[in-house]
Amino acid sequence: MGKISVDTPLAELTLRKYEKPSGESRRELVRKLCLSLGLLQPGDSRDVVVDVLQAVLEAERELTSTEVERRVIEKRKEAGLELLGIAPSNIRRQLLRLRDVFLVEKVKNNYRVRENTSIMDIFEENLEKYYLASIISRVKEYVQEIDKTFDL
CATH of domain 26-115: 1.10.10.10
Q: How far is CA 142 from the centre of its chain?
A: 26
**pLDDT value at position 73?**
98
CB 87 within 8 A of CB 99: no
> Computed from CA positions of residues 59, 103, 90, 40, in that sequence, does the dihedral angle turn out positive or negative?
positive
Q: What is the pLDDT along the chain (152 residues), one digit of tens a residue?
A: 566 778 899 999 999 999 999 999 999 999 999 999 999 999 998 999 999 999 999 999 999 999 999 999 999 999 999 999 999 999 999 999 999 999 999 999 999 999 999 999 999 999 999 999 999 999 999 999 999 999 99
DSSP sequence for 70-120: HHHHHHHHHTT----S-SHHHHHHHHHHHHHTTSEEEETTEEEEGGG--HH
CB 68 within 8 A of CB 90: no
What is the rounded distance in angstroms from the CA atom of residue 95 to the CA atom of residue 120?
Answer: 19
Structure pTM?
A: 0.90
H or E element, residue 50: helix 48-58
